[in-house]
Amino acid sequence: MAGNRGASAFANYLLLSYAALALHVTGFARDAGADVFAIVFAGAVSLTYAAVYLAPVAALAGIVHWLCARRGAVLRAIGVGFSVVSVAALEILVFSDRFLFRLYGFHLNGFVWNLVTTRGGIESLDSGADTFAVLAGIAALFVTLQAGLWWAAGRESVERWLAPWRRGRALAMAAGLLAVLGVGERALYAFSYAVHRNSVLEVANSFPYYLPTRARTVTRALGIESPDHAVALEASRHVIDYPLRPLQRVPHKSYNIVWLVSESLRADALDPEIMPATSEFAKRAIRFHQHYSGGNNTRMGMFSMFYGLYGGYWFAFQEQERSPVLMDTLIDDGYRMQLRTSAKFSYPEFDETLFVRVPRAQMHEGDGRPGWQCDRENVAGLLDFIDHRDPAHPFFAFMFFESPHARYEFPQESVIRTPYLDRLNYATMDLRRDIGLIKNRYLNAVHHLDSQLARVFADLEQQGLLDSTIVVVTGDHGEEFMEKGRWGHASAFSEEQTRVPLLLYVPGEPPRDVERMTSHLDLPATILRLLGVSNPPSDYSLGYDLLNGPGRSFTVVSGWDDLAYVDVDHKIVLPIGRIELSRRKVTSRDDGELPPRQPNLAEEDHSRVLDLLRDLTRFGRQRG
């Protein structure tokens, strides 16, 4: 009898857990809006996918429960504990995914796994003990909830209520209903895909690991879908062929290089009020006003900056630990180097890509303190290196600043915008309520960044090095504050997330403002020409010489698994992989809606995608 009661309690527990999980999963579709199709679709997916998510956990918990149920009180307690903790872990994963999607617009994926498993990844979040404390409390709450459901599952009143639902006919009806809902939501997705009902497709994207069913043969047979172009758009993951030809050199002036990059420095932050010292230095440099990062995240932005290639190449170059031609040239020319970051060179994996050939002794990292404190210390170290260098050799000094990284920490003397959010706790903040206060934190942090850049500019001036030193000042990517519906970066290709300042100081070049479109992709071609490389940039990059090149009519900004093609008038966002052009997202360059598109524009898009495909395979070749 005890075994039967235990089995009944376990079955009741699963039914109660399914109801709680289904209610939780409906939160993914809170933006379904008023569209009836989207609402019906969201309800069906919530009920079916809750069962899909729970099924493997329930099966494993069932096996453990069965093995422990008849083997003494201790093992029974272990079985109960496993059932409670395993389903609680599932709820915590769903909560974490919802939290991540709400903030950044993407689900738990390879990027998140890379973040968790790579040294320095978690530290890069700068989440703070208070955030982790709240999240730990939420996790404990889910465990408590599941323990409460287990307790309830064994009550006689709950048993009387749920017993009819465990009978064969009721279970068959429930399974049949789920099957009907599953087939229905599949059919609704296929129909919406065929007729471009984006409200349903966007809701589908909000559910983690939703597997779409397109049924194109059926919808075409019914006459509700037209043929579409499809292209496999991804960078070559074969053997890299880079550069395409050996570099040729001509006599050139020997320049020092100071390369200063800030985390999350958006274009409009370079303002006299926010960055007075950098704005003053800009008057002596070439300022590029329409400059794009090559990525909406640090990894892709920095990759494009040093390689001059689209971010999709990152994975092949990391796998084969191939350094950029730019760094190869500096090393082969005997440059003395010091590289500093207030984060880690292991996350993103710059020690396996950009700087793989640089000796570790020349690379200095942050120690986990707030970014502004590490920035101050690193600037002191960088200036000490410059001031005590061997003057017989040119030097390369690189610094990656963390002050403007979320949580946007700063000392009190850097406050220029009030009020600001006193503490940025990821778990408790409300973006709609707090975003203005959060942005003020960011601007104060950027003001602190400016004070540290000022130290570098002043030292170069005092040391008389501006006659012989190239200075680069830019950001890895931008930062959005809900102007287009997102906060932070890596979640979209909005102007706020992709536009950054670029100052290029070259001795002898007159200061000027450049209004044409430019990109991080152009930096290697520019610097290498100044270092005497005579090859055309197409031999080693997808960029153009910023000083003497033809200029660009478009640029490409890469994400983890998608990219944006940006030209003077349009922005086309495409997933990396097999794409169909009618599924691309097309906006104006500044992310606004476009008027109804003419048929010939679709053909133009196809031509652009084919150009991208050629660029993404130019520096790769088949193995063997």
Count CA atoms within 13 Å of residue 473 on its CB side: 30
400 in helix, strand or coil? strand
**CA nearest to 481, candidates 468, 497, 462, 503:** 497
Q: How confident is the model at residue 5 (pLDDT cuts 50, 70, 90)?
A: low
**In 545-623, where does DSSP find H-type helix?**
599-617
- Does residue 489 contact residue 479 with C-beta atoms inside 8 Å? yes
pLDDT (tens digit, 9 = 90+) per residue, 591-621? 998 776 544 445 566 677 777 777 888 887 6
Task: Decide if pLDDT at 347 tops 80.
Answer: yes
Mean predicted confidence (pLDDT) in 83-99: 85
Task: Decide if pLDDT at 204 tops 70.
Answer: yes
CB atoms within 10 A of CB 534: 12
pLDDT score, position 218: 63
**CA nearest to 561, candidates 571, 542, 574, 570:** 574
Cα 446–451–127 angle (5° rounding)?
Answer: 40
Q: Please, which residues have CB within 8 angstroms of residue 153's CB and are 6 or more apart in sequence? A: 9, 10, 12, 13, 16, 162
Average pLDDT score, the chain? 85
pLDDT (tens digit, 9 = 90+) per residue, 41-71? 888 888 888 888 888 988 888 888 788 877 7
Task: Decide if pLDDT at 623 tops 70.
Answer: no
pLDDT score, position 31: 58
The top-scoring range by mean pLDDT among 73-77, 217-221, 409-413 is: 409-413
Q: Tokens in use for 543? A: 């960029």
pLDDT (tens digit, 9 = 90+) per residue, 531-564? 999 999 999 999 999 999 888 999 999 998 889 9
Straight-line distance from the first to the last Cα atom of the chain, in angstroms, rounded to the nearest whole number: 68
- Does residue 367 contact residue 374 with C-beta atoms inside 8 Å? yes
Q: How confident is the model at residue 586 (pLDDT cuts 50, 70, 90)?
A: confident
Task: Quote the percentage of the chain above a pLDDT of 70.
Answer: 84
Q: How far apart are CA 45 and CA 212, in angstroms?
A: 11
Task: Decide if pLDDT at 11 tops 50.
Answer: yes
Task: Decide if pLDDT at 1 tops 50.
Answer: no
pLDDT score, position 557: 97
Mean predicted confidence (pLDDT) in 174-188: 84
Q: How confident is the model at residue 125 (pLDDT cuts 50, 70, 90)?
A: low
Q: How confident is the model at residue 236 (pLDDT cuts 50, 70, 90)?
A: low
Task: Decide if pLDDT at 235 tops 70.
Answer: no
The top-scoring range by mean pLDDT among 16-30, 59-73, 485-499 is: 485-499
Tokens 């495409």 belong to residue: 574
Q: How confident is the model at residue 355 (pLDDT cuts 50, 70, 90)?
A: very high
pLDDT score, position 444: 98
pLDDT score, position 574: 83
Buried b (16+ CB within 10 A) or exposed e, 125-163: ebbbeebeebbeeebeebbebbbebbebbbeeebbeebe
Q: Tokens in use for 507? A: 């001795």
- Partners of residue 620 on adjacent β-strands: 240
- Does residue 353 contact residue 323 with C-beta atoms inside 8 Å? yes
Instruction: Cis check for the bond before 227: say yes or no (omega within 30 of 0).
Output: no
Mean predicted confidence (pLDDT) in 517-529: 98
Q: How far apart are CA 185 and CA 191, in angstroms?
A: 10
pLDDT (tens digit, 9 = 90+) per residue, 421-474? 998 887 778 888 999 999 999 999 999 999 999 999 999 999 999 999 999 999
Task: Decide if pLDDT at 483 tops 80.
Answer: yes
Q: How confident is the model at residue 309 (pLDDT cuts 50, 70, 90)?
A: very high
308 in helix, strand or coil? coil
Mean predicted confidence (pLDDT) in 213-223: 62
Q: How far apart are CA 501 and CA 518, in angstroms?
A: 11
φ, ψ of residue 158 in degrees (nearest 5): -70, -40
Cα 94–98–102 angle (5° rounding)?
Answer: 175
Rg of the chain on CA atoms, in Å:
28
Cα dist. 601→494, 605, 607 in Å? 22, 6, 10
Q: Tokens in use for 591? A: 């992310």
Count CA atoms within 13 Å of residue 83 on its CB side: 33
**In 389-473, where does DSSP find H-type helix?**
431-462
512 in helix, strand or coil? strand
- Does residue 96 contact residue 104 with C-beta atoms inside 8 Å? no
pLDDT score, position 120: 57
Task: Decide if pLDDT at 581 tops 60.
Answer: no
